């Protein structure tokens, strides 16, 4: 069958289009069939497509190489192009990097937060993640400030971004001001929409699993939120694999809105989710949007075990103790030293290498990156340009293999 006829087009334009459309058709068909193309074919097709002004199929190309690396699309402001990828099995496309906003309004002032958002937008990031409890400080006085900052910044450009928020954390003094009960979620989503100055979010997520609330009650409330138009999709964060599997099954049995993605902690120093959660996500076609790719900053290499941590995740707010318990250990510092040597051999900063490693996992849709200053985004955005050598990837996997073990809940 003629390629043009197969796609409902006349074949003649292919000759006048320099073969660009034909190249796109061929590549997308092979990618869609999960057939790995030889590197020389991918390079040839990508080279042809990247010269075409109308080309926009980066999400298909991103799948062509191992771990989605080796193909670039979407301008990052550094001469590269931001990759876009479908979120799970949905038709929603998001940038391969997502901007996290947990520091906004506490560690990061409003003006600096705006500068970070501006820099992210310039880099081609169209995916923003926040939460009703952000920023997490020592008390409830800052609850919602991150959403308010994002809402003000989005004024006049809401339609240009995919907006995600989360609920379930403690937002007030009353016993029902937390968790995943129907009462709390239905009140929480309305409060988030007010702060974000919008009538809907693209993705509404459970921030934590709530074992005290029946899953059916939670899922029915989330279904109501979607059907009412207040959210387009739903997801979960910090869920164990078996609880997510149970939620998927209950939603299917009751014909409720399906969970489309999961947001886990994941980095070179925390790989436990590879054992069960990631295989489940892959089999169920869920998007995976990991947070904490730099282990709270430890994977930047700026911290030393014999020096008190500078202002940041390890010192500020009620999360400081959590981050120190997770990462501030001799074993982790020894690993960081070894990783730093590998990064130098690869000609990369440890920050860039760490984010590139997360992006190289084929189950990962988009990596949530954060910053307290706009300039910090440069090293993380640079990861999009890295074609992670398979030998280097294997070394990183082997060096951090022990971090796949453990039973942390999040």
> Which has the higher per-residue pLDDT, 65 or 379?
379
Residue whose token pair is 């074992």:
211
170-195 average pLDDT score: 97
Position 316 confidence tier, pLDDT thresholds 50, 70, 90:
confident
**Does the pLDDT value for residue 54 go beyond 90?**
no
CA-to-CA separations, 37 to 42, 63, 125, in angstroms, rounded: 6, 10, 28
CA-to-CA separations, 230 to 162, 194, 201, in angstroms, rounded: 14, 11, 6
State the pLDDT at residue 303.
85
**Does the pLDDT value for residue 47 go beyond 50?**
no
Does 71 sit behind a cis peptide bond, omega within 30 degrees of 0 on the bond before it? no
The radius of gyration computed from the CA coordinates of the chain, to the nearest angstrom, equals 22
- Annotated catalytic sites, by residue? 134
Bridge partner residues of 291 (DSSP): 265
State the pLDDT at residue 262.
98
Percent of the chain with pLDDT over 90: 72
> Which has the higher per-residue pLDDT, 309 or 187?
187
SS (H, E, C) 310-335: CCCCCCCCCHHHHHHHHHCCHHHHHH
What would the pLDDT profile of 114-161 be if each residue is shown by its tens digit? 999 999 999 999 999 999 999 988 789 999 999 999 999 999 999 999
- Where exactly are the structural domains of the chain? 3-68, 87-404
Query: What order of strands is seen across the sheet that includes strand 127-129?
Result: 287-288, 259-263, 231-237, 201-206, 162-167, 127-129, 97-100, 367-369
Q: What is the pTM of this model?
A: 0.81
The rounded distance, in Å, linking the Cα atoms of 83 and 89 is: 17
Nearest Cα to Cα of residue 72 among 46, 102, 111: 46
Give the DSSP letter of residue 101. Answer: -
CA dihedral 135, 90, 98, 399 (to 10 degrees): 110
Is there a contact between 288 and 363 (Cβ–Cβ < 8 Å)? yes
Which of 60-74, 207-221, 259-273, 311-325 is predicted with the least confidence, judged by mean pLDDT? Answer: 60-74
Q: How many CA atoms lie within 13 A of 209 on its CB side?
A: 17
Residue 70 corresponds to which tokens in the numbers above? 């080796």
Residue whose token pair is 């901007």:
99
**Does the pLDDT value for residue 8 go beyond 60?**
no
- First-last CA distance in the chain: 51
Which of 27-36, 256-265, 303-312 is predicted with the least confidence, judged by mean pLDDT? Answer: 27-36
Give the DSSP letter of residue 75. Answer: B
Residues in the chain: 410
**Does the pLDDT value for residue 11 go beyond 50?**
no
Residue 127 corresponds to which tokens in the numbers above? 């995916």
3-state class (DSSP) for residue 288: strand
State the pLDDT at residue 36.
43
Which class is 87-404 in CATH? alpha beta
> Which has the higher per-residue pLDDT, 326 or 50?
326
State the pLDDT at residue 80.
58
**Does the pLDDT value for residue 74 go beyond 50?**
no
């Amino acid at each position: 069958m003629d390629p043009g006829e197969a796609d409902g087009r006349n074949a003649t334009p292919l000759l006048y289009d320099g073969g660009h459309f034909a190249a796109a058709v061929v590549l997308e068909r092979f990618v869609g069939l999960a057939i790995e193309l030889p590197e020389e074919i991918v390079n040839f097709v990508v080279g042809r497509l990247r010269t075409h002004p109308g080309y926009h199929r980066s999400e298909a190309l991103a799948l062509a190489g191992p771990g989605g690396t080796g193909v670039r699309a979407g301008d990052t402001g550094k001469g590269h192009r931001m990759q876009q990828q479908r979120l799970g099995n949905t038709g929603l496309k998001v940038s391969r990097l997502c901007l996290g906003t947990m520091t906004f309004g506490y560690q990061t002032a409003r003006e600096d937060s705006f500068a970070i958002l501006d820099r992210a937008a310039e880099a081609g990031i169209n995916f923003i993640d926040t939460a009703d409890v952000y920023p997490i400080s020592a008390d409830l006085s800052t609850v919602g400030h991150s959403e308010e900052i994002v809402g003000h910044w989005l004024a006049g450009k809401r339609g240009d971004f995919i907006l995600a928020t989360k609920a379930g954390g403690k937002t007030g003094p009353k016993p029902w001001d937390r968790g995943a009960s129907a009462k709390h979620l239905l009140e929480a989503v309305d409060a988030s929409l007010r702060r974000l100055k919008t009538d809907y979010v693209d993705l509404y997520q459970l921030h934590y699993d709530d074992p005290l609330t029946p899953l059916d009650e939670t899922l029915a409330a989330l279904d109501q939120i979607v059907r009412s138009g207040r959210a387009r999709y739903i997801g979960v964060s910090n869920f164990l694999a078996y609880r997510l599997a149970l939620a998927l099954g209950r939603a299917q049995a009751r014909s409720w809105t399906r969970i489309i993605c999961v947001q886990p902690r994941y980095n070179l120093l925390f790989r436990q989710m590879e054992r069960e959660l990631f295989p489940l996500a892959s089999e169920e076609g869920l998007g995976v949007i990991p947070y904490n790719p730099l282990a709270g900053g430890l994977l930047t290499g700026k911290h030393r075990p014999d020096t008190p941590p500078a202002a940041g995740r390890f010192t500020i707010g009620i999360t400081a103790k959590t981050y120190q318990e997770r990462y501030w250990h001799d074993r982790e510092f020894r690993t960081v030293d070894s990783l730093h040597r590998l990064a130098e051999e690869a000609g990369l900063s440890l920050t860039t290498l760490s984010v590139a490693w997360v992006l190289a996992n084929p189950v990962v849709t988009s990596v949530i990156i954060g910053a307290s200053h706009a300039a910090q985004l440069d090293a993380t955005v640079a990861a999009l340009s890295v074609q992670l050598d398979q030998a280097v990837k294997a070394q990183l996997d082997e060096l951090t293999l022990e971090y796949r073990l453990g039973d942390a809940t999040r």
